[in-house]
Structure 1
Amino acid sequence: MRNVRYPLALSALLLAAAASAQVQPPPAGNQPSPPPAPQAPAPASAAPTESVPYGAGLKLPLSPDGSKYLRFITWHQVWTRFNQNNTGSQHTSGDPQRNTFDVGLRRSRLILYAQLNPRFLILTHIGINNQNAVGGGVGIGDPGKKPQLFVHEAIVEYKVINQLSVGAGLHYQNGISRMTRASTLNFLAFDAPITNWPTIEKTDQFARYMGIYAKGRIGKLDYAVAVNDPFVTSPTATPATVPTNVAEYYPRNHSKNFQGYFAYEFLDQEANLLPYAVGSYLGTKRVFNIGAGFLFNKNAMFSRPGALPPPPTGQPGADPYSYVPFKTHNLGIWSADVFFDTPLNKEAGTAFTAYAVYYNFDFGPNYVRNIGILNPSSAGGSTAIPGAGTLRGNAFPTVGTGSALYAQAGYLLPKNVLGPKARLQPYAAWLHGDYDGLETIGAKKVNVLDLGANLLLDGHNAKLTLNYRARPDYSNPQNINYRPEITLQTMIFL
């Protein structure tokens, strides 16, 4: 036992000496102190595995509890596109161009809205649309430059009761269909078919009307109705300028426009403070809605039923309205649609979105309108469809007296397909138009196919969309050729 005690005592003395040495003061004199030991680097923070939800976005609270606020929304949609142009298209007059590769601004917008208390809403929406190198601007002699920044919406609204709000101004509380009220921030496909805005830039201002509206929700029934002043359109048209038995917008129309949309929400209810209908919820809601809507404008259209008579003898400048027989026609449209959006596997993050709509259009006899969005051609093109406008660039018969079907569906792939920070959502869309004016000249019905995918980098707030379109070229209505369009849309909104 004594043999053990001696080593233990010696060890204790050595430890005490070492501890004492560690707390001794530094040696006297001018000798420098030893440098401090380098600090260990701070542990790196773990990178987030998913994007943080955007939430309310750019929202400025004006009261401590946030009930008074000002919200900002801004976005740009840029198209980089290859387009095989319709027969006879020209980049500028006298400059034929079969194919076009271009970049354009599809939309560039800013929305500001505020609630100073839950009963009052003010909203301002400004922006530009469809600017490329050959069009969309108002520069003197340069049609693509300096696009006009204009007011899309300017409304004031008051909540009367929980089930009813009334508003007035330049508004988007549109009738006809869900997609006529579509938000352009969260489309499923790369864009709308435009058939959903059948009076765009005619009696409306870029799908908005000047009028008064009422909106609200009663139980599961969401509704919006409006009475509007249609904008004066086609001011130079007269009974002498329209083709025989083909309707056109009546420049002397001063009747009110009535429209409305009603949707029954079977599952989750959607927000309805603003009119913008969501295109795809990306699995965050279970929505199943059936809707119906209408638009009616008395005497909005006119046509000349017979051949053009000569002007009265001795009156070469006589007003055609005084000597050319013509008829006025009511503009009537109705629709029915269904929207379904649901998560499929919450753990995997998969979701399914589908929408389908039927439109019935009555614009008067044989009315057809060709539209080419962000048109890459500024001249040329066929005028084979009477009264429909030119078929330059990427234009095709988009609306007309008759009917149209539009359907789209998309699937949000599992989270692990592209890693934790990006999602992929392939989709398909189809437009079918059956218009009387095409049947009259022996043309086939309209069919447009879109196939594409959304690469969601931060949900809808930052995404790339690649779309392939097979578009009919009606330059020869009896022999339809399909032209390809390939569009890459880059979009960010805050």
Structure 2
Amino acid sequence: MRNIRYALAASALLTAVGATAQVQPPPAGQTPAPAPAAPAPPPAPPAPAKSAPYGAGMKVNLSPDGSKYLRFMTWHQVYTRYTKNNEGTTRAPNKEQKGQVDFGLRRSRLVLLAQLNPRFVIYTHLGINNQNAVSGGATGEATGPGKKPQFFIHEAVTEYKVNQYLSLGAGLHYLNGISRLTSASTTSILPIDLPLTNFPTIEQSDQFARWLGVYAKGRIGKLDYRFSASDPFLTNQASTPLSLGTTSVTTGNITTNTGTGIAQYNPQNTSHVYQGYVSYNFLEPEANLLPYFTGTYLGTKRVFSIGAGFLYNKDAMYSRGTNDRFTYTTLPSTADQFANIPTRKHDLKLFGVDAFYDVPLDTAARTAITLYGVYYNYNMGPNHVRFVGPENPGFGVVNGFNASTRGNAVPQSGTGDSFYGQVGYLLPQKLFGPKARLQPYVAYLHSNYEFLSKDANVYDIGANLLLDGHNAKVTLNYRARPDFSRTNFTTGQVSSLDYKPEITLQTQIFL
């Protein structure tokens, strides 16, 4: 028992000595051991990501400095629309329809652009247009239905930069003449759509306003230019010399066909198409890597440009005079018609002069104004006139009305003069806060065609709600358009002219 007490006392003494040694100052010349580190605070939660400006879009840099790259661009324009149809329109076989609310894809596109060398550019543009439930499909816009539209190539271009003043290119191109709107960007349009008078040959001798050919473009100081030479596409119209006349049976089995004096596209046209457009920018220059002209800059640039352009195609049109009579007992073949029935050839001569003014007004409020005006003079042969309806909601016609006036069709091109103007104003930024902007506009098209006894006027008024500039916007548009259904298409006499309403809501996303 005594030994246990001695052991416990010795153990307590050693413990006390050890505790005392821990608090003794260190020997001279030695630094004390560092104090234990404080526990690290928990990591802060990541801040929410802020949206960045769109900039160059979906761009993949292939070199550190970004001079070699691959860029993707895509956009959809979706319509929700009420249309009061032109008289006699059907939306299903033999079922007349006065009007309807319909939905459609005005445009759905994809562009691939690559630059792997400072001197070489290649780009491809694909997509569809004008699809709704009754038109724009694989079987043709006029006959319906709207199912399975053809996803086709709009542009396929290779381009070489010779020097700072000149670039040369070739392929299926959009380097058009006539006017600024004839090579317009469809993503930055000020109003809801283009007037289509700016595309006078669309889907006749071109492929959706594109051409197979070669071009030269560039800039010298403040002067921009573009010139091209292309092949005309063969027309997709079933036109023959007999179709240029009216047929009547005179005596017995002898048939007489008399010319109408109205020119149509010549199916035997193989002459080159020459185009050009030259503009002078008094203020800031515009980008010209791609062929598309911007419709409104939303106050980001100061642009004042005047321009003039042309399109010339020899023997592009043909006709037969009203004194031209051809008699036959058996309907001649197509080959015999072209060999034995004389026709008159007419050159296609199209000219345009325009001016574009787009500047910021109040830098604090970020307001801006856009003004554009163009005058067209078209010579397309005697009495030629053509009707077109964008994303036409009509299937056909009943009660003897002319098929060209179905749905929302208006006189789109022809021999005569046209003026088109548009005005837009970007309202102050504070109106809807820092994100959304409102841009009201008006547009007006006036056309005086040689064949029609009455002028055609189309009125548009609307507004763009810009949620992210042109990259995300909603457009509401009201249109009053003329209904030429009651027109004698032999004489051009318009017995009455009624204006029909069209209200369209478009949503656009462009990335």
Match of 2:475 in 1: 465
1:382 and 1:391 in contact (8 A); partners too: no
1:127 and 2:143 are equivalent in the alignment: no
In 1: Cα distance, 2:496 partner to 2:398 partner: 16
The AA in structure 1 aligned to 2:321 is P
Note the C-alpha offset of 1:420. 1.4
The C-alpha deviation readout for 1:308-364, integer Å capped at 9, x for no partner, is 634456775472223323100000001100000000011101000010000000000
Which 5+ residue runs of structure 2 have no aligned equivalent?
A: 1-40, 246-259, 487-493
Q: 1:478 Cα shift? A: 2.3
Identical-pair percentage: 58
Whole-angstrom distance in 1 between the partners of 2:407 and 2:399: 10
Structure 1 residue ranges without an equivalent (≥5): 1-38
Q: For 1:450-476, what per-residue CA distance to the aligned partner results, in whole angstroms no more than 9, with x for missing partners?
A: 000000000000000000000000112
Query: One-letter code of the match for 1:324?
Result: I
Letter in 1 for 2:475: T
Q: Which amino acid aligns with 1:123?
A: Y
CA deviation digits over 1:148-192, x for unaligned, max 9? 000000000000111000000000010000000100010000010
Query: In the alignment, residue 461 of structure 1 is paired with which amino acid?
Result: N
Once the two structures are superposed, the pairs formed by residues 309-458 of structure 1 within 5 Å of their partners are 309-312=325-328, 316-317=332-333, 319-380=336-397, 390-438=404-452, 443-458=453-468
Q: Residue 483 of structure 1 aligns with which residue? A: 500
Distance in 2, matches of 1:241 and 1:308, equals: 13
Q: Find 1:164's aligned residue among 163, 166, 172.
A: 166
Post-superposition offset of 1:65? 1.3
Whole-angstrom distance in 1 between the partners of 2:400 and 2:388: 13
Tell which structure's C-alpha radius of gyration is larger. Answer: 2
Amino acid corresponding to residue 175 of structure 1 in structure 2: G
Cα distance in 2 between the residues matched to 1:95 and 1:44 = 62
Q: 1:52 to 1:315 in 2, by over 3 A?
A: closer
Counterpart for residue 299 of structure 1: 315
Give the match's secondary structure for 1:283. Answer: coil
Change (3 A) 1:382 1:399: farther
Distance 1:427 1:40, change over 3 A: farther
- Correspondence for 2:284: 268
Q: 8 Å contact 1:168–1:213 — kept in the other structure?
A: yes
Q: Report the alpha carbon displacement of residue 45 of structure 1 after superposing the two structures with TM.
A: 5.8
Quick one: structure 1 residues 382 and 222, their matched pair in 2 at CA, closer, same or farther if it must change by over 3 Å?
A: farther
Instruction: Write the letter of the residue equivalent to 1:124.
Output: T
AA of the residue aligned to 2:316: A
Matching of residues 56-205 of structure 1 within 5 Å = 56-138=56-138, 143-205=145-207
Q: Distance in 1 between matches of 2:393 and 2:152?
A: 22
The answer for the alignment partner of 1:474 in structure 2 is 484
**How far, CA to CA, are the matches of 1:201 and 1:92 in structure 2?**
24
RMSD, matched Cα = 2.1
Residue 418 of structure 1 deviates from its aligned partner by: 1.1
List per-residue Cα deviations over 1:383-416 (Å, max 9, x = no partner). 877xxx5101000111110010000010000011
- TM-score, normalised on structure 2? 0.84
SS at match of 2:404: coil
Provide the secondary structure at the position in 1 that maps to 2:200.
coil
Q: CA–CA distance in 1 between the matches of 2:503 and 2:68?
A: 45
Normalised by the size of structure 1, how large is the TM-score?
0.87
Aligned-partner residue type, residue 163 of structure 1: Y
- Alignment of 1:242 onto 2:244: yes
Give the Å deviation of 1:44: 9.8
- Verify the 8 A CA contact 1:234 1:250 in the aligned structure 2: no
